[in-house]
Structures are given as structure tokens and as C-alpha cells.
Amino acid sequence: MENLFYFSDLFGVAVFAITGALMAGRKSMDLFGVLVIAIVTALGGGTLRDLILDNHPVSWIRDDTYILVASLAAVGTVVWVRLTRPIHETGLLVADAFGLAVFTVIGTEVALQHQVPLSTAVIMGVMTGVAGGVMRDVICNEIPLIFHKEIYATACILGSLVFITLRELGTPHWLDTGIAMLVVLFTRLAAIRWHLSLPRFHLLDRYT
């Protein structure tokens, strides 16, 4: 199970690095800029989670495979786009949804291993999923996806709650992980496809 967790984490790193590289490409950055944005996107959420949970050293410091995977994914994305054609914005959103699903469940799992309250585990899952993307978008002068009208962080909350519930029921760990990731992924993809969003709160000035 530890190997599954480790390789899932690396997969999430690779996917989010791809989204960072794509965003950097949209901003016409040089290769160094692409690498910086890719690594920040891939490792930002997990780093913030580990710092808050006092989980030292953070993953990429104790294992340089994380930096290597993020860098290779970024360079591979550059080569792929150069040899084929630019990827549509939808491709960026779909790749982001995959990374979101993986990192949400991993963040929740890490928090549970630290025996924090369940509410904190949900928050850590959401933070792991969204923080790297927020850093990416802020650096690239974009409105973070978490602030767009479509469902984003809500998908993380649902996936995290499903994972925690299944863990409490004692079902197989691989099943918990797979189902929770699919919940996040399909919720986010459905929001993209059908422009689903939560009700908005409009405060009207009674004197106007």
C-alpha cells in the first residue's frame, strides 16, 4: 500500500507539473520559467500541507524524485506541444482535474496519518489539491480556478468526505482511494462540462 501511495503521489506531481507547464506556455515563458511554474504547481500544495502538519522534512526535500518527476513532466510537455500542436484550454482544465483528484485524497490520507480531527483532514485534503494551482495562477497573473464560478474546491470536499467515510467503514484502502479520486474527478469534469456552480449570494443595497 505504501508503494501505491507513493506512485499515486508521483502521478499527481507529474499531472500538476503538466498543468503548470501549459500555463507557462500560455504566458510565453522561457524554459526556466516553465520549470519554475511546473515545480511550484506540482509541489506547492503538499509543501504547505506538510508545513502546517509539522511533517518534516517535506516530501521533495527527503526525496529528490519529486523534483525530477516534475521537471521531466514539464520538459516533456514542452516537447510534446512543440512536436504536435498547442493544447486547448480544455486540456489544461482536464489535466488539472486529474491532479486535483489525486492530491485531494493524498492530502486527506496524510492528515489522517497524523491523527488530526476529521475536519482538519478535509481542510488538508482541499489545501493539497488547490494550493499549488492557486500559486500557479497567481504567479501567472490569472484568476485562480478556485475562484471561478464552476465547482472546484467543493469537488475536493466531497472526495475527502467520501474517503474519510470509507476509511471509517473499513473497506479496502485501494477501493477507498479509487472511489474518492473518481468522486473528485467526475464532479470537477461535470462542472466543466455543464458549467455547474453553487448558488451565488447577492447582497443588494436596500437604499438603491
Among 55, 53, 60, 56, residue whose Cα is nearest residue 39: 60
Position 65 in a domain: yes
Residue 206 covered by a domain: no
Q: What is the pLDDT of residue 102?
A: 95
Number of residues written out for the chain: 208
Residue 85's domain comprises: 2-194
Please check whether residue 201 lies inside any domain of the structure.
no
How many whole angstroms separate alpha carbon 151 and alpha carbon 1? Answer: 31
In this structure, are residues 150 and 191 in contact, taking their beta carbons and an 8 Å threshold?
A: yes
pLDDT per position as a tens digit, 164-198: 999 999 999 999 999 999 999 999 999 999 988 88
- 2-56 pLDDT per residue, tens: 788 899 899 999 999 999 999 999 999 999 999 999 999 999 999 999 999 999 9
Residues 6+ apart with CB under 8 A from 176: 163, 166, 167
**Any domain includes 12:** yes
How many folded domains does the chain comprise? 1
